[in-house]
Amino acid sequence: MRPIVRFVLLAVVFLLCWVTSAAAARLHLIGNFDQPIFVTSDPANPDSLYIVERDGRVVRFENGTASVFADLTGLVACCEGERGLLSIALAPDFETSARFFAAYTGKPDAGGAEGDVHVDAFAAGGGGLVREPLFSIEHSAHANHNGGQLEFGPDGYLYASVGDGGGGGDPFESGQDPSSRLGKILRVEPRAGAEPGIWSYGLRNPWRFSFDRASGAMVVADVGQGAREEVDVAASPGPGLVGGQGINYGWNCREGFIAYSEPGASCSGATGFTDPVFDYPHADPENGSAHGCAITGGYVVRDPSVTDLYGRYVYADFCVGAIRSMLLPGVAGGLASGDRYEGLDVSGPTSFGEDSCGRVYVASSNGGVYRFEGETPAVCFPPQSAVQAAVASAKRKHLRVLLGIRRNRLERRLKLAFTVRVLPCAGEAGTRVQLKRGGRRVAAKRINQRCAAHFRLRITHRSTFRAVLPEAGYRSQARTIALAKPRP
What is the reported pTM?
Answer: 0.77
Output the pLDDT for position 380. 82
Q: What angle do CA 127, 64, 424 make, to 5 degrees?
A: 70
Q: What angle do CA 419, 425, 429 make, to 5 degrees?
A: 80
What kind and span of H or E run contains 404?
A: strand 400-407
Pick out the chain residues at pLDDT < 50.
1-22, 384-398, 409-412, 486-488
ω into 79 cis (within 30 of 0): yes
Residue 76 DSSP symbol: B
Query: Class for domain 386-481, per CATH?
Result: mainly beta
For 290, other C-beta atoms within 10 Å of its C-beta total 22
- Residue of 218, 217, 222, 219 whose CA lies nearest to 206: 222
Per-residue pLDDT tens over the stretch 130-156: 999 999 999 999 999 999 999 999 999
Output the pLDDT for position 447. 83
Query: Class for domain 25-373, per CATH?
Result: mainly beta
CB 179 within 8 A of CB 118: no
Output the pLDDT for position 432. 83
User: What Cα–Cα distance (Å) separates residue 469 from each residue in 432, 433, 465, 474?
Assistant: 6, 5, 14, 5
Interacting residues of 257 by C-beta distance below 8 A, sequence separation 6+: 228, 230, 275, 276, 279
Output the pLDDT for position 17. 36
Per-residue pLDDT tens over the stretch 4-45: 434 334 433 333 333 333 358 999 999 999 999 999 999 999
Output the pLDDT for position 274. 98
CB 309 within 8 A of CB 325: yes
Output the pLDDT for position 235. 97
CB 90 within 8 A of CB 124: no
CB 44 within 8 A of CB 385: yes
Q: Where in the chain is the domain with CATH 2.120.10.30?
A: 25-373
